[in-house]
Structure 1
């Protein structure tokens, strides 16, 4: 990152992110996928990096990622134990629940039903919706892709007296830890969420594991997996090398700086997120494992950037 780009990014991210306008109307209750295996699951502990990529610190990551979680078995697959704790990091801003084994979401356009809301407001919205669901004898859910494309006759599932829970309750029942960050889909994280993430990283034992997920398991998940790698390894792995190995590890192209997005309606949001991840690398290099300063403290008084990329 050049000094000029660094100064520009610091000035930009010191300010609160400009949030898009929240869609009007009531969200549609959709199911992300049918019950079963974790979609887009990957784990650094079992993933073998190609030999031509930088291997430094890869064996210290103990990180996994996936699409949304919906069952006890999916959490138990992570093998949480007192000796080797697992933190499930849920980076979804949108309200969601687990209904009859289906991962479900209250969705509006662009997944922005909660955009601009505070952390407390999002939690209150989700809790209220789950409580209302539990009063219904039947629950109707609509297929995510059909709802997204506005089909007149979408695929539906009707569940009679299904088990209903929040993801937090499900995860904690297995002995794993749970942390929720309110990250808007298609955007980079807010400073308050970055500080919570850094605090989690500081407290993580050496052999502790982190499992990160969003809805599909690509964009936001990939961004936070890269941030985890940076906090552990930015001091001895260049930005280029770190991004190259993350592109191989993560599905999707959220970290692809060469992807042409000029034709996409959210191109500015994607570019902002890539600018953020470049700046976060500089933070991580100066604050290994998130210490001594938090993201917000560092933004207020950043050091001169290093030139190793």
Structure 2
């Protein structure tokens, strides 16, 4: 059974500090960036509501997809990034092997066991499962599932508390029933329907708790750069960590959101390294190339503007970290970004 008392738990440490991980407001036409945040399509949040249970990971053994650690070897540059990433450049590994982080896509219950087993080979300290998913998700008898809506934005516009409430309600409603689940086809199409006789449901927090792993939820919208409030909350969380903490970041695929947070953490912990080395090495151990940009996106490429925003924002975050190191300050990311926007607008 899901313990209802956990419904309000999203980042308990932030509650004690009076902080909440903020979502996307009302979800449409959000303004914030160096200039203005890339607006969402002009559709009401209801247009993105979930309509089927997607299978994110079958309850098989082995490690989750796109698993890597800070100690993973560099791989070759993929063709899709050949025009952006200099394949002849070998990024520094200074501070990387001791960074104590890993990343992956969503795991099933058995894959989580394999994940914990693998990480326990690398650390005796506390392990934190940093769940970056805004979408409602959990486990049907160990199989990882999520409630899928257009663009994976089923919870867009909801507060973190509302996200958890939706997640709890949907998992509880499935308990004891025969539930149709699907794979996600190209775009938003559900494929390969099959039935799971759901005899047990778990939230990810319950799974983590059962294995003695700390759980942190940062409910970030898929495909988008995190909001200023979400990054402020992440930075506050990082300041609470013991020196021997190991952070495992994951989203659905283990690519966009996961790499963005691994890049930011690397920048925080290794401020003396060039920007290029950090974004290259987080890509080359198995993530995405976070500064990837689409110069002239096609009209059908709805992700293009969001890639461009990430391209700009990851560079700005590096500047933010450098400023804090030089000035010895503790200014929040949101305030720094606001001040920078004001300077740009007044120049």
Range into which the TM-score falls when normalised by the shorter chain: 0.7 to 0.9
Cα 1:25–1:213 shift into 2, 3 Å = closer
Say which of 140, 147, 153 aligns to 1:112: 153
CA displacement, residues 202-241 of structure 1 (integer Å, 9 cap, x when unaligned): 12222211100000111111111111111111x2111122
- Counterparts of 1:148 and 1:301, CA distance in 2: 39
- Counterparts of 2:278 and 2:289, CA distance in 1: 15
Aligned to 1:54: 92
> Does the aligned pair in 1 maintain the 2:53–2:146 contact within 8 Å?
yes
Q: For 1:66-85, what aligned pairs fall within 5 Å after superposition?
A: 66-71=104-109, 72-77=112-117, 78-79=119-120, 84-85=125-126
Aligned to 1:140: 180
For 1:53, what is the secondary structure of its paired residue?
coil
CA displacement, residues 38-81 of structure 1 (integer Å, 9 cap, x when unaligned): 11100113446899321221133111000012214145233299
- Counterparts of 1:66 and 1:177, CA distance in 2: 17
- Counterparts of 1:175 and 1:293, CA distance in 2: 34
Say which of 299, 309, 313 aligns to 1:272: 309
5+ residue gaps, structure 2: 1-31, 77-88
Aligned to 1:295: 333
Aligned to 1:221: 258
For 1:60, what is the secondary structure of its paired residue?
coil
Aligned to 2:59: 35
5+ residue gaps, structure 1: 1-7
- 1:275 Cα deviation (Å)? 1.1
Aligned to 1:241: 277
Say which of 202, 209, 217 aligns to 1:180: 217
Say which of 134, 137, 140 aligns to 1:93: 134
Cα 1:161–1:24 shift into 2, 3 Å = closer
Cα 1:244–1:161 shift into 2, 3 Å = closer
State yes or no: 1:262 paired with 2:297.
yes
Aligned to 1:4: none
- Counterparts of 1:47 and 1:208, CA distance in 2: 22
Q: Identify which range, 40-49 or 204-213, moves more after superposition.
A: 40-49
For 2:257, what is the secondary structure of its paired residue?
helix
Q: How many equivalent pairs are there?
A: 288
CA displacement, residues 220-278 of structure 1 (integer Å, 9 cap, x when unaligned): 11111111111111x21111222121221234444434x65623222111111221111
Cα 1:11–1:216 shift into 2, 3 Å = same
Structure-2-length-normalised TM-score: 0.74
- 1:144 Cα deviation (Å)? 2.1
Aligned to 2:286: 250
Q: Identify which range, 19-28 or 99-108, moves more after superposition.
A: 19-28
- 1:286 Cα deviation (Å)? 2.7
Cα 1:81–1:254 shift into 2, 3 Å = closer
CA displacement, residues 177-219 of structure 1 (integer Å, 9 cap, x when unaligned): 1111121111000122111211121122222111000001111
CA displacement, residues 24-46 of structure 1 (integer Å, 9 cap, x when unaligned): 55521110232223111001134
> Does the aligned pair in 2 maintain the 1:80–1:176 contact within 8 Å?
no
- 1:302 Cα deviation (Å)? 5.7
- Counterparts of 2:296 and 2:252, CA distance in 1: 21
- 1:300 Cα deviation (Å)? 4.4
Say which of 96, 102, 105 aligns to 1:64: 102
